[in-house]
Structure 1
Amino acid sequence: MKITIIQLLMVFLFLSCDTKNTSYEAPENVVKNSIEGSWKLVYADIRENDSLQIKDLSKTDFIKILNGSHFAFFNQDQGTSENFMAGAGTYTFNGSDYAETLDFINAPDYRGHVFPFKVEIKGDSLIQQGHEKIESAGLDRYILEKYIRIKNKN
């Protein structure tokens, strides 16, 4: 009888030592890029030829979302279903060099185009600037955009 109880205990212990872990936990040493997250546009100016246009953002919401490899942006007038615009694609980020490859947008001339920018991240602010040029679309302008990080509501 003694041997049977010991044998049952050993079998139970053996079966409970499953090395598979079915739940996923992110490794502690994985560091997200400081650019990853959700950002709200709070200032934008466009320099084209000899003119400067400062965008009125008081009645629109412009959000940019960046994960480890992709970006998406959404723009819509507040309180309405009008003037919705969106785009998405992949990006690269190295130091202050940031480049978006726009893969999804309703403007065919923009698809597949790479937009190089310089970025600076200061605390919860992201400043992005660069030259947007697509000859086939008649686009040739310099932009400066300032975003603030959208914080989780946890």
Structure 2
Amino acid sequence: MKTIAGTFFIMLSLLSCGEKTATDAEKDDQLPITGTWKLITGTLIEKGDTTITDYTKNTSFIKIINDTHFAFLQHDLNKGKDSTAAFSSGGGTYSLKDSTYSEHLEYCTAREWEGSDFPFTIEIKNDTLVQRGVEKVVSAGVDRLNIEKYVRMK
């Protein structure tokens, strides 16, 4: 009886070590984008003008990405008590294929941005994510290159 039970458990163990499915292999090949990311710098290039923002000084901006959705939150660090008072947020769905990360913005404090799609090229090295792409929102008069550098929060 012990031999039969032992053989059963060995067979069960071997069967559970089957090959990966295509879906499992695709997930393994994708960049490790899920998590919470803190924006460090943002560079906007529009009509020949370049603006670089340091997001470690007067404001805080995070992006949270799960398997299907993203959300971002930004606010000033003075708790809204002076001229730097600001809050913005948004979120929606995204897709990731190789290094092409595309956001579909469903919710946003800037309502004219809702319903827009933003394709980005991303690069992840260690705990740093760099996202680069054109933001174009006709209704808001926006057409610019956006480059953002994030670090993974722990």
5+ residue gaps, structure 1, are 1-28
Amino acid of the structure 1 residue aligned with 2:38: K
Match of 1:125 in 2: 128
Match of 1:48 in 2: 46
Larger radius of gyration, structure 1 or 2? 1
Match of 1:150 among 147, 150, 153: 153
Amino acid of the structure 2 residue aligned with 1:109: E
Cα distance in 2 for residues equivalent to 1:75 and 1:94: 27
Cα distance in 1 for residues equivalent to 2:90 and 2:78: 21
Match of 2:16 in 1: none
Amino acid of the structure 2 residue aligned with 1:71: F
Number of paired residues? 123
Cα distance in 2 for residues equivalent to 1:106 and 1:54: 22
Match of 1:84 among 69, 84, 87: 87
- Please give the per-residue CA displacement for 1:110-148, whole angstroms capped at 9, x wherever unaligned: 111100100001010000000000112101110110000
Cα distance in 2 for residues equivalent to 1:92 and 1:77: 29
Cα distance in 1 for residues equivalent to 2:109 and 2:34: 25
CA contact (8 A) 2:40 2:54 kept: no
Deviation at 1:56, TM superposition (A): 3.1
Deviation at 1:43, TM superposition (A): 1.1
Asked if 1:95 is matched to 2:122, the reply is no
TM-score by length of 2: 0.75
TM-score by length of 1: 0.75
Cα distance in 2 for residues equivalent to 1:96 and 1:71: 16
Match of 2:6 in 1: none
Cα distance in 1 for residues equivalent to 2:153 and 2:112: 31
Deviation at 1:107, TM superposition (A): 2.2
Q: CA RMSD in A?
A: 1.5
Amino acid of the structure 2 residue aligned with 1:112: G
**Secondary structure of 1:55's partner?**
strand
